[in-house]
Chain A
Amino acid sequence: MTTAHPEFRELVAPHLVALYRSAYRLTGNRSDAEDVVQEVCMRAYTHLAALRTLEQPKSWLLKIAYRVFVDGVRRRARSPVRASAEDFDATRSSDEPSPEERAEAELAERRLLAALTKLDREQRALLALQVEGYTLAELEAMTELSADVLKARLYRARVRLGKLLAADGKTPTLALVK
C-alpha cells in the first residue's frame, strides 16, 4: 500500500491534535471536524516543499483550517439535515461525573452549538480559535486581519453569541415529540 510521504507524517503528526481541537471548535461536531482535518492535510500535502521550510507549521496548518472552514469547503457533500443544530454531536470523551451534571452540561453544549450556528462563519471561526488559546498575534497571522479589526470583530461576535444564548436560554433544543 502506498502511503503519504513519511516526511509529511513527521511534519503533521505533532500538530494533529491541536488541529483537530480547533476543527472541532470550528464545526461543532466530530465528523465535520475530521473532514476539515483531512481537507487541511490534503492541501498541506500539495505544499510539502513549503511546509518543510516553515518555522511554525502549526500556525500554517491552522491558517488553512480557518480558510477551509470560512470558505465552507467540505470534502464530502452533506445532506441538508446536517445543518440543523439538532444534529450536532454532543458526545465527548468520558470523564464526566454524575448523570445529572452530564445531562446539564450536554444541554448547555447543545444550546451553545445551536447558537454558534447562527453566527456567520467568520465570527464563529474567530471565537473558536481564540478560545482554543491562541494569542491575538497568532490569530492575526491565521486570519490576515489587523489587530484592531480582529479585536473589534471578536468583541462583536461575543456580544452576539451571548445575546443569542440569553434569548435561547429557556427554549429546549432537544427534539421534542408533539
Chain B
Amino acid sequence: MTMSCNDIAQILDTHRSARLAPAERARVDAHLAECADCTAAWHAQNELLALRVPAMPATLLERALLASRLPQSAPARRARLAVVVGSVVLAGVAAAAVTIVSLTGWPSAEVPSTASGEPSAPSAEAPSDSVMPAEDPSAAAAQNDLPTSVELVETGRLDVIPLVRENPQYPPQALAKGLGGDVQLKFDVTAAGTVENVSIVKSSDAVFEESAAAALSQWRYLPRILAGKRVRHEGVHTIIRFQLSGDNDTPSDPRQEEAAQRAVREYREYGGGLTVALDRLALDDFRGVELQLDEMQAVYGTERADLWNFYGYLYTLQANYARAIDAYEQAVAVSLRAPYPSSGPIVPLAKLYFARHQYDMALKTLLRPGLPTNGAAPPGISRRLSDEATALIEQLRALGVTEETLVGR
C-alpha cells in the first residue's frame, strides 16, 4: 500500500513525523523517494522542528504589563513632548543661551586648535542688540530663572556624551553687562557616570567659571565601557559657552513664556528619570535600569534618541549584542529626525557590527549621511570623523573593507 501526498501532509499536520512505527516510516520513505514536493515539505518540517526557541526574558511579563496600562495615552504624550523638546531648544530666545561644546575623549589637556568646535572669540556670535536690557538688572535677575538653552555642539573626538545636564546659571553680572564668554573645563567621569575633579582649563572671563563648574559637577554620563567593564574616564574636556542671543522674536506672549517654563520643568522630570536609571546602573541593577527605561519610553514615547542610546548601552553591557544593535539603530534613526542630529550612537553601533564581523555594516554606519562629522578627514575617506571613528575605519581598512569595496554604494 503506497502513501499519497495527503497522507504525508496528514502525518505532518498531526505532529506524528518524529514518532512513526518502522513499517510506516518505510512507506513514508518510499513516497518521499518519488515525490519532490513531499521531500521538500518533510525537510522543511524537520528544520522548523529543530529551531530552538530562546527562553523568555524574565522581565517580559513586567514590561508587557507596563505597556498594557497605557495603550492610548502614549501617542498623545509623545506628540506633546515633541513640542516641548522644540521649545527647550528655542528657549534661548527668552533669555540667554548656554552652549556646551564638548571636546572629550583624549587624556591630555591639549585642545587641538584645529578642532572645528574650538570656540571663536566669545563675543563674535553675541549680537549687540541683546534681548537683556542692561539698564534693568531686576529684569535680568528674573530672566536668569528662565531656561537658558543647552545646546550640545559636538566637536572633535567625542566619545562621551552627557546624559543629564544641569543648566548653568547665567551670571547676573554678565547678563547686566551683556557679556558672553567661554569656559573650558577638564574633569573625570567616574565608573558610576558622575563627574569629579572639575578644574578650569581656561576661560574668557572669570565671571563664568563658578557657574560653569557648579553645573558641570551635577552632570551625569554613561560611563565608558572598556573590555565589558565600566571604567573611570579621566581628562574629559568640555567647553561651556555663555551666549546672549539677540533674536528679534522676544516672547512677549505670556503663554509662550509659560510654555517655556513648563518645558524646563518637564526637562527636569525627564532628567530625573534618567538619573534614576543611572543610579540603578551604578548598583548593577540591570533589570531595574531596563524597567525604568521602559517606563520612560511608555511616557515619553520612542522618539528620544538618548533613551535608545541607553538601551543600547545597557544591552552592550549585558552582552546582548543583537538587541544593542537594534537599540542603537533606533537611536540613529531618531537622531536623524531631530533638529540637532547627534553622532552619539554611531561609534558604539559601528563597534558592535565590527564585533559581529559585519564589517560592511560597520563602515556604512560610520559613513552614514546626515550626521554631524568632525575632526580630520582620514586619508581616502570622503568625510570628517572623530578620532575614535577614524581608528575604527583604519582597522576596517586593515581587513580590506574600504569605501570602495562597499557593496551597493
Q: How distant is B401 from chain A, measured CB to nearest CB, in Å?
A: 6
Q: Which residues of chain A are within 8 angstroms of B55 by Cβ–Cβ distance?
A: 93
Instruction: Determine whether the beta carbon of A31 is less than 8 Å from that of B323.
Output: yes
Instruction: Determine whether the beta carbon of B41 is less than 8 Å from that of A159.
Output: yes
Q: How distant is A163 from chain B, measured CB to nearest CB, in Å?
A: 5
Instruction: Determine whether the beta carbon of A108 is less than 8 Å from that of B54.
Output: no
Interface size on B, residues (CB 8 A): 58
Q: Which residues of chain A are within 8 angstroms of B41 by Cβ–Cβ distance?
A: 155, 158-159, 162
Q: Is B306 an interface residue (CB 8 A)?
A: no
Instruction: Determine whether the beta carbon of B357 is less than 8 Å from that of A108.
Output: no
Using A81-B329, A155-B9 as known contacts, say yes or no to A165 and B47 having CB atoms under 8 A apart.
yes
Q: How far is the CA of A151 from the CA of B13 in the complex (A)?
A: 8
Instruction: Determine whether the beta carbon of B53 is less than 8 Å from that of A92.
Output: yes
Which residue on chain A has the smallest CB distance to residue B35?
A159
Q: A29 contacts which of B39, B322, B361, B400 (Cβ < 8 Å)?
A: B322
0 or 1 for each of A1-32: is its CB under 8 Å from B? (1 = yes): 11110001100110011001100110001110
Secondary structure call for the B interface: helix
Q: How far is the CA of A155 from the CA of B357 in the complex (A)?
A: 37
Which residue on chain B has the smallest CB distance to residue A89?
B322
Which residue on chain B has the smallest CB distance to residue A150?
B13
Q: Is B49 an interface residue (CB 8 A)?
A: yes
Complex interface residues of chain B between 337 and 384 (CB less than 8 A to chain A): 356-361
Q: Is B145 an interface residue (CB 8 A)?
A: no
Q: How far is the CA of A128 from the CA of B60 in the complex (A)?
A: 21
Q: How far is the CA of A67 from the CA of B178 in the complex (A)?
A: 62
Q: How far is the CA of A150 from the CA of B212 in the complex (A)?
A: 69
A-B CB contacts (within 8 Å), total count: 168
Q: Which residues of chain B are within 8 angstroms of A31 by Cβ–Cβ distance?
A: 322-323, 326
Q: Is B85 an interface residue (CB 8 A)?
A: no
Q: Which residues of chain B are within 8 angstroms of A38 by Cβ–Cβ distance?
A: 63-64, 67-68
Q: Is B255 an interface residue (CB 8 A)?
A: no
Q: Which residues of chain A are within 8 angstroms of B361 by Cβ–Cβ distance?
A: 81, 175
Q: How distant is A17 from chain B, measured CB to nearest CB, in Å?
A: 5
Q: Which residues of chain B are within 8 angstroms of A135 by Cβ–Cβ distance?
A: 14
Q: Which residues of chain A are within 8 angstroms of B226 by Cβ–Cβ distance?
A: none
Instruction: Determine whether the beta carbon of B39 is less than 8 Å from that of A162.
Output: yes
Q: How far is the CA of A31 from the CA of B311 in the complex (A)?
A: 12
Contact-residue size bin, chain A (C-beta under 8 Å from the other chain):
35 or more
Q: How far is the CA of A163 from the CA of B36 in the complex (A)?
A: 9
Q: Is A122 an interface residue (CB 8 A)?
A: no
Q: How distant is A26 from chain B, measured CB to nearest CB, in Å?
A: 11
Using A31-B323, A159-B40 as known contacts, say yes or no to A45 and B50 having CB atoms under 8 A apart.
no
Q: Is A50 an interface residue (CB 8 A)?
A: no
Which residue on chain B has the smallest CB distance to residue A44?
B68
Q: Which residues of chain B are within 8 angstroms of A170 by Cβ–Cβ distance?
A: none
Instruction: Determine whether the beta carbon of A24 is less than 8 Å from that of B65.
Output: no
Using A42-B68, A44-B68 as known contacts, say yes or no to A165 and B44 having CB atoms under 8 A apart.
yes
0 or 1 for each of B26-47: is its CB under 8 Å from A? (1 = yes): 0000000000011111111101
0 or 1 for each of A126-167: is its CB under 8 Å from B? (1 = yes): 011011010110000000000000010011011111110110
Q: Is A73 an interface residue (CB 8 A)?
A: no
Q: How distant is B63 from chain A, measured CB to nearest CB, in Å?
A: 7
Instruction: Determine whether the beta carbon of A93 is less than 8 Å from that of B54.
Output: yes
Q: Is B407 an interface residue (CB 8 A)?
A: yes
Q: How far is the CA of A47 from the CA of B55 in the complex (A)?
A: 28
Using A25-B53, A175-B360, A177-B401 as known contacts, say yes or no to A166 and B43 having CB atoms under 8 A apart.
yes
Q: How far is the CA of A72 from the CA of B54 in the complex (A)?
A: 22
Q: How far is the CA of A20 from the CA of B59 in the complex (A)?
A: 12
Q: A24 contacts which of B54, B326, B358, B407 (Cβ < 8 Å)?
A: B54
Which residue on chain A has the smallest CB distance to residue B365?
A81
Q: B357 contacts which of A16, A76, A154, A174 (Cβ < 8 Å)?
A: A174
Which residue on chain A has the smallest CB distance to residue B39?
A162
Which residue on chain A has the smallest CB distance to residue B46?
A162
Using A3-B65, A24-B53, A41-B64 as known contacts, say yes or no to A159 and B400 having CB atoms under 8 A apart.
no
Instruction: Determine whether the beta carbon of B44 is less than 8 Å from that of A161.
Output: yes
Q: How distant is A32 from chain B, measured CB to nearest CB, in Å?
A: 9
Q: Which residues of chain B are within 8 angstroms of A166 by Cβ–Cβ distance?
A: 40, 43
Q: Is B231 an interface residue (CB 8 A)?
A: no
Q: Which residues of chain A are within 8 angstroms of B44 by Cβ–Cβ distance?
A: 127, 157-162, 165
Q: Which residues of chain A are within 8 angstroms of B51 by Cβ–Cβ distance?
A: 25, 109, 112-113, 131
19 contacts between A and B (CB under 8 A): A1-B295, A4-B65, A12-B64, A16-B56, A16-B61, A17-B56, A30-B57, A38-B64, A38-B67, A38-B68, A44-B68, A45-B71, A93-B55, A155-B9, A159-B38, A163-B40, A175-B358, A175-B361, A177-B401
Given pairs A31-B323, A82-B326, A163-B40, 12 additional interface contacts (CB within 8 A): A21-B53, A34-B63, A79-B333, A87-B322, A89-B323, A112-B50, A136-B14, A158-B42, A158-B44, A161-B40, A162-B43, A175-B357
In the A-B complex, the 10 residue pairs with the closest CB atoms: A162-B40, A158-B41, A162-B44, A45-B68, A161-B44, A89-B322, A41-B64, A4-B65, A20-B56, A131-B48
